[in-house]
Every structure is written in C-alpha cells, then in structure tokens.
Amino acid sequence: PYKKDDNAHIEQKNWTHVRKLLGYVRYDRPAAQAAIHALYRHELRLFQNFFLPSVKLVRKERVGSRVRRRYDAPRTPLERVLACPEIRPELAAQLRRQRDGLDPFTLARAIEQQLERIYARANPRHRPPAASAHPAPVRRPTRKRLSINPDPQWVSAPSRSVTSE
C-alpha cells in the first residue's frame, strides 16, 4: 500500500538492490540493459521479495552529537505484506503458494549466471583495468616513508619547560 513517506525507504534500497549487484560500471549497450531488465523482472525480484530479509529504518534519535538509528526486526518483503491488515486473504494465499513453489538455492544460482553474462556486457571503456599478469612489485613501507621511528634510540627525551618562580 502507498504511504506518503515511501520515497525515503525506496532510496534506502539503492545500495542493496542496485550498486551491490551491478557496481558502478557503465551498462549502456542495449544487450546489457535487456539482460539487467530480465534479471530484475524474474529471478532477482522473486529472490529479494520472498527470501531476502531486510531491515526498515523506523526512526532516528539524536543522542548528544550522534544520531542513533532504530530499525525494525529483519523480515522479508513478503512477510511485511502478509502482516499488513489490508491484504486480501486470497492474495495472501496466492503469494504463499508462489513462495512455497520456489527454491532459493536454484534462484541464487540462476542470478549468479545472469550476473556473469551482464558483467561481460559492461562498457569496456568504463571498466576498471584488469589485473596484469606481471603486476608491479609491492614495496614495503619504510620508517622514513611512514614518518615513524619506533626505535627507542631515535626518540629524543621529552623537553623540560622552565618556569620562573
């Protein structure tokens, strides 16, 4: 059901539903966009709505200079819908039957396979550089570069301040 303050909760999911899966790589080719739309329309939608619990931000309270966030108990979106008093019983039964007919492990495997195909279709101009077969040697940091000297003989004695009486 629609609520006036839903937009904040939708924005909260940008990380979990988009960036966590697809990253910040650019997908501007039609084949990549079609694959992403197919993933979101089918397996990913079912997996996230029926099996993936999430928390919802209930309130924020200021404690001194910090903000303490309060979340409700983790529940799947299906559990949240079923807990809603306005849902029709026949719709609730239909959703339960749909969930019971799904296997989360099969869905997860299908999602992984589709993500591999999507990653292969990313725009290569905006892809991070691949790891080289011969990477540059890693240099160990020295004391000079880190500007620390843990050796006790290099540590000067603390200066004493002279006070006039």
pLDDT tens for each residue of 95-140: 999 999 999 999 999 999 999 999 888 877 755 555 555 555 555 5
Span 134-151, mean pLDDT?
A: 49
Rounded to the nearest integer, the mean pLDDT of the chain is 79
Q: Give CA–CA dist 103/99, Å, rounded.
A: 8
Digit-coded pLDDT (tens) for 33-88: 999 999 999 999 999 999 999 888 899 999 999 999 999 999 999 999 999 999 99
- What pLDDT does residue 152 have? 47
- Would you list the domain boundaries of the chain? 12-123
Q: What CA–CA distances, in Å, run from 14 to 17, 20, 22, 28, 74?
A: 6, 9, 11, 19, 18
Residue 45 is predicted with a pLDDT of 93
